[in-house]
Chain A
Amino acid sequence: MNMKEYSTQTKAVETETTVTLTVNGEPRQLRIPPNVVLLDALRDRLGLTGTKKGCDHGQCGACTVHIDGQAINSCLTLAVMCEGREVTTIEGLASDAGLHPVQQAFLENDAYQCGFCTPGQMMSASAMLEDERIGTDDAAVREAMSGNICRCGAYKNILAAIQTARGQMPTARKEGEVS
């Protein structure tokens, strides 16, 4: 295999644009070139480093945030596409009243080790618990959570934490409840 020759001329100009979005309830403005993904914008430009980069290709789930309430991979989302959207990151999960039930359940169930995939796990879990289209039994939770890799392998405790949190969330359906 040989390194292929490619044109190295770059025609497009890197121009910055302004993006206005809501992050954790606060309106924020970003001045960024188009090739910045939401993950890097949050981390490098807004100082919200709780969202993690584990693969940068949508293959691990560490970068999971909510856009308009849905869990997405922020590493594959251009920040310029978030104009007018509501983004929630791990920094916005807890409220003045304290930890989110998912955070509290992760704490109590020791649902993490190194903690690096954990923000993504919790963002997926919190969105899933509010999504009535996803089943409530263990198998459905495992399947729905499979986009979040935990290399430490804390899956057992993560599952236990999610099912514990389900009971603490007024808006979540109970385990075994059919949608």
Chain B
Amino acid sequence: MRSFAFSAAENVDQAIIACESNNAEASYIAGGTTLIDLVKLDVMRPERVIDLNRLPLKEVERLDDGRLRIGALVSNTDLAHHPLVTEHYPLLSQALLAGASTQLRNMATTAGNIMQRTRCPYFRDVAAACNKRDPGSGCDALGGINRMHALLGTSEHCIATHPSDMCVAMAALGATLTLEGPNGIREIAFGDFHRLPMDRPDLEHELEPNELITHITLDTPVVGGGSHYLKLRDRASYEFALASAAVVVAVEDGVIRDARLALGGVATKPWQAMEAEQALTGQPAKTESFEKAAEIALADALPREHNAFKVPLARQAILRALEKATQAAMNS
């Protein structure tokens, strides 16, 4: 871990100024679970680190319009167990608790989770070619060991998977991010925040260099919806997903009134399967409808040498999560 300068911001303005007023490469730190990991590997080399932990962004509150506003610094643990989340967004709670470990969830923050970097081993290895880490250097994952890599949203420049579980639930639930920077406050839909790699995999999101996420506001919960987050992986816990599915369905008289479906472990960003959601809506809550949706969700999947199994695996995740969510909806 190379050396860097450090300062702690007391409020959002200070954080923005600290970042802006210094022309050195600056990084914000909250939980530190991504940044310190990558600085130790020499993958990230901030010259200045600005601690955000004193910012007053630790509240979870229900807005008048029924949406849920989450402060950027709410820890993954606190969010997963927050009564408003467990009651209205059990999917989010489930997804959060499926991620990482108790200790990491205690440290990791909501905004930090959104900002976490890929686990691609070639990204994490400074001796490897990686367009995300070192634009233009190539992608060693394409012809390398790519069992963990993405099927959806990839390009010939990058096939790195977005590792978050929480974000998959947010992609399904719908959310808005509040960003604050030198030019003021702006909002962006969760689905528009993460970028596809295309020919610039180093540009991972829409955040400007001296902007920060202050809040995440979840859309109003689906009325009468049942949900399920299913994460498939090699071992039983403490591992990133091979494939995961986040599902919310509302069923009336055996017909799907509203459906939300997002995928994790198989895409370069938290992957909302919009066409599949549309295909489910108005269909009977049955296996045939689920199979059709899975087919649509994975129609554009582009497997590589070692990750072809993820296509049927993701399909299985979708089917089982839809079944479980439908059961939950029926029982609610």
Output the nearest chain A residue to B3 by Cβ-Cβ distance.
A14
Most buried by A among B31, B33, B39, B101: B101
Interface: B216 (CB within 8 A):
no
Among B34-55, those with CB < 8 Å from A are: 36-37, 39-41, 47-49, 51, 53
In the bound assembly, the distance between CA atoms of A143 and B105 in angstroms comes to 13
In the bound assembly, the distance between CA atoms of A35 and B29 in angstroms comes to 13
Interface: A29 (CB within 8 A):
no
In the bound assembly, the distance between CA atoms of A78 and B101 in angstroms comes to 19
Output the nearest chain A residue to B144 by Cβ-Cβ distance.
A1
Interface: A126 (CB within 8 A):
no
Interface: B207 (CB within 8 A):
no
Among A29-43, those with CB < 8 Å from B are: 33-35, 37
Output the nearest chain B residue to A139 by Cβ-Cβ distance.
B236
Query: Knowing A4-B127, A56-B40, A76-B32 touch, does A15 contact B103 (C-beta < 8 A)?
Result: no
CB pair A4–B4 under 8 Å, yes or no, is no
In the bound assembly, the distance between CA atoms of A10 and B42 in angstroms comes to 13
A133-165 interface code vs B (CB 8 A; 1 in, 0 out): 110000000111111110000000000000000
Question: Which of A57-65, A88-96, A104-112 makes up part of the contact surface?
Answer: A57-65
Identify A146's interface contact among B3, B33, B128, B238, CB under 8 A. Answer: B238
Most buried by B among A56, A77, A78, A134: A78
Taking the nearest CB of chain B, how far is it from the CB of A95, in angstroms? 23
In the bound assembly, the distance between CA atoms of A143 and B48 in angstroms comes to 36
CB pair A146–B51 under 8 Å, yes or no, is no
Query: Knowing A14-B3, A146-B236, A146-B238 touch, does A81 contact B140 (C-beta < 8 A)?
Result: no
Identify B4's interface contact among A12, A61, A134, A146, CB under 8 A. Answer: A12
Interface: A118 (CB within 8 A):
no
Output the nearest chain B residue to A71 by Cβ-Cβ distance.
B103
Interface: B134 (CB within 8 A):
yes
CB pair A12–B5 under 8 Å, yes or no, is yes
B59-95 interface code vs A (CB 8 A; 1 in, 0 out): 0000000000000000001000100000000000000
CB pair B107–A73 under 8 Å, yes or no, is yes
Residues in A with CB closer than 8 Å to B29 are: 78, 81
Taking the nearest CB of chain A, how far is it from the CB of B52, in angstroms? 10
13 contacts between A and B (CB under 8 A): A3-B127, A4-B127, A12-B4, A15-B5, A17-B6, A35-B1, A35-B4, A61-B103, A72-B106, A76-B33, A76-B37, A146-B102, A147-B103
